Structure 1
Amino acid sequence: MGSIRTALVGFGYAGQTFHAPLIAATAGLELAAIVSGNPAKVAPYWPRVPVRAQIGEVLADPTIDLVVIATPNSLHAEQASLALAAGKHVVVDKPFTVALADAQALERQAGASGRVLSIFHNRRWDADFLALSALIRQGALGRVTQFESHFDRFRSERRDRWRERADVAGAGLWYDLGSHLLDQALFLFGLPLSIFVDIATQRAGDGAADYFHALMRYPDGLRIILHGSMLIPDSGLRFAVHGDGGSFIKHGLDRQEDQLKAGLPPGCDDWGVDPLPACLTRPAPDGLRSGPHAGPAGDYRRYYAGVRDAITGDGPNPVTAAEAIQVMQLLALGIESAGQRREIDLSEPV
């Protein structure tokens, strides 16, 4: 088949910064339309791409093959269902949907329609996570006993956006960044035995939760700690992973998000190169030996290349609905845990 004509629904931060440039930079995909109520915002970035006011316009267009949903979380379920019903393949920005039942219904609908349904968990293609994943697969850290993962930022003032409003379903840091950390942990280790989560609002004012701390318990003593906060002026810790064969300590992120925000094209010089390599410590005959560990460059284009291949039948879906549903299950259990202030066993019904 020719290029997969793709319509992007939503031109907020996710649509503008991530999806539009990544779609346009992926061979075999064509950014054919953008759905936005603000065409003046789109025009400086994509002057040759038609802007449609309503999602129904692209759903009715028989030349559109793929619809990418990058709208607020509360709209994901309805819009993805409409796109599947219109015979389109669908990508949904993380964290898929707000309600677990909606995610499960979409998985069934996609299966019945024979269309690809994929969720944009792009952080699997961060440079640091690619490096860490390879080390764990190779057994370089031995049996992993503690996996600590952080997304900490310092934004003391709330911004006027839906992600930070207390009255918006699916807002808050647990949904926004917690979904990334959960997906990475599940990708490496699968579902835990239990989860305990503390969620709070630490900044002044009546806004969505801006702090979370999660502890997940696994067999054989493995403990996974996931942490996110908007009030960390100085830390930079990304990963602290320990096993009986070594430790992997990582600060900072690769450059992809900053490069995208700066308007640089995906694939440019130094694309996804991590400016601060991890520190790998392993046993040696004379004790412990530490040194920098530079892994491969990150590349979010690999996600969309995977979507392309799944549509053409040349490869697997890069992030399936089933995988994203597991993230949704843990998001829901985390909210239950925080509300009840107790550890939730995964054998309990959601």
Structure 2
Amino acid sequence: MKSINTALCSFGMSGHLFHAPFIDVNPKFNLYGVVERSKNLAKAKYPNIKTFRSLEDLLEDKAIDLVIVNTPNITHYDFTKRIIEAGKHIVVEKPFTVTSSEAKELIDLAEKHNVKLSVYHNRRWDSDFKTVQKVLNKDVLGDIVEAEFHYDRFEPELSYKKHKEVPTEGVGSLYDLGSHLIDQVLQLFGLPNSVFACLDSFRDNSKVGDYFDVKFYYKSHYVTLKSSYFVLETLPAYSIHGTKGSFIKTKGDIQEAALQKEIKPNTGNWGKEPESEKGLLHFIKNGKSTKEYVNTETGNYMKYYDGMYDAIQNNKPVPVSPFEAMQVIQVIEAAIKSNQEKKVIYL
């Protein structure tokens, strides 16, 4: 089995937590290189890794097969374009790009150069979301009437990551946390007919959005996405209501917490939530009301990289298509326009 030589465009939180550990322990990949302009943090953790001082130097290395674009959002378009033109396969951190027109250009360019392009919407492999998918696939809730998804935090202080607090294109919680929720909703229900959004910021001295409330309008139901940095008491992450029942689920995925503790993703019980995080299913069947707790599915971001291997080596579809990721950006653009114009925006 030929391993795929993989390089990271940076070694911040994303590279350190969400990419390097999975590449390192997966025999299908070789953690080959990283761009660090002045530091050597990756080499201290992975002694065999090659350090590049610029993207230009990285792209000159013919041995690299796959490049991970995990730099600030505003750089995604430019970096990805240069990598495609260098003939290397690409994984782009979410959000794909700042605008959907940029995304479309990159999709066309990747096809022209015959390279695999995918976007790292890893939250499709969260244990909580996989459990929601399982319940909906069982069709026990009847016709869906409404759903509400939350990605809340209690973080009143500004981020130490300066690039996340500068009011530039592609910055703010709608692009950051919202792209996760939007991708999950599109996976479950498809593209909505229209959206209405309220975007705001509440932290002292905040210059970027840290609150959103976005309503998706479908032909037969509504979906609301909410996020705030001022939620101290945890709310359900997923509340779904149908004509025959309801399903409530906490945000229980443990993978990020495990990675922060330096637990490797090939260890036992990876991605298994504690029993206390089971979802509550309450439904009507044959006129009888039943409440039961649903066992949580196992989360595993490694499935994404296994999918990338198959895409590159066996010409299978990428695990997250850039077209799907472009639709996420289209929804974000519509939400921003809705907030500016204070009206419903049709897609």
Q: TM-score, normalised by structure 2?
A: 0.96
Match of 1:342 in 2: 343
| CA positional deviation for 1:333 | 0.7
| CA positional deviation for 1:61 | 1.0
**Aligned pair 1:62/2:67, yes or no?**
no
| CA positional deviation for 1:277 | 1.1
Asked whether the 8 Å contact 1:164–1:207 carries over to 2, the reply is: no
**Aligned pair 1:248/2:247, yes or no?**
yes
Deviation string for 1:178-214 (max 9, x for gaps)? 0000000111111101000110001111331100000
Q: Which amino acid aligns with 2:103?
A: A
Query: Residues 249-268 of structure 1 correspond to what in structure 2 (within 5 A)?
Result: 249-268=248-267
Q: Secondary structure at the match of 2:44?
A: coil
Asked whether the 8 Å contact 2:158–2:206 carries over to 1, the reply is: no
Q: TM-score, normalised by structure 1?
A: 0.95
| CA positional deviation for 1:283 | 1.2
Match of 1:128 in 2: 128
| CA positional deviation for 1:17 | 1.0
Match of 1:332 in 2: 333
Deviation string for 1:8-55 (max 9, x for gaps)? 111111111101112223331111001112433223322221111111
Q: Which amino acid aligns with 2:269?
A: D
**Aligned pair 1:272/2:271, yes or no?**
yes
Q: Which amino acid aligns with 2:322?
A: A
State percent identity of aligned pairs: 35
Partners of 1:265 and 1:38 lie apart in 2 by 27
Q: Which runs of 5+ in 2 are unaligned?
A: none
Match of 1:288 in 2: 289
Q: Secondary structure at the match of 1:152?
A: coil
Partners of 2:217 and 2:125 lie apart in 1 by 25
Q: Secondary structure at the match of 1:31?
A: strand
Partners of 1:154 and 1:10 lie apart in 2 by 27
Partners of 1:215 and 1:152 lie apart in 2 by 16
Query: Residues 180-219 of structure 1 correspond to what in structure 2 (within 5 A)?
Result: 180-219=180-219
Asked whether the 8 Å contact 1:9–1:71 carries over to 2, the reply is: yes
Q: Secondary structure at the match of 1:212?
A: strand
Match of 2:230 in 1: 231
Partners of 2:322 and 2:167 lie apart in 1 by 27
How many residues were matched structurally?
Answer: 345
Asked whether the 8 Å contact 1:163–1:176 carries over to 2, the reply is: no
**Aligned pair 1:308/2:309, yes or no?**
yes
Asked whether the 8 Å contact 1:278–1:292 carries over to 2, the reply is: yes
Q: Secondary structure at the match of 2:237?
A: strand
| CA positional deviation for 1:163 | 5.2
Q: Which amino acid aligns with 1:142?
A: G
Asked whether the 8 Å contact 1:81–1:106 carries over to 2, the reply is: yes
Asked whether the 8 Å contact 2:99–2:330 carries over to 1, the reply is: no
Asked whether the 8 Å contact 1:162–1:171 carries over to 2, the reply is: no
Asked whether the 8 Å contact 1:248–1:280 carries over to 2, the reply is: yes
Match of 1:103 in 2: 103
Partners of 1:315 and 1:100 lie apart in 2 by 25
Partners of 2:30 and 2:184 lie apart in 1 by 29
- When the two chains are superposed, the root-mean-square deviation of aligned CA atoms in Å is 1.4
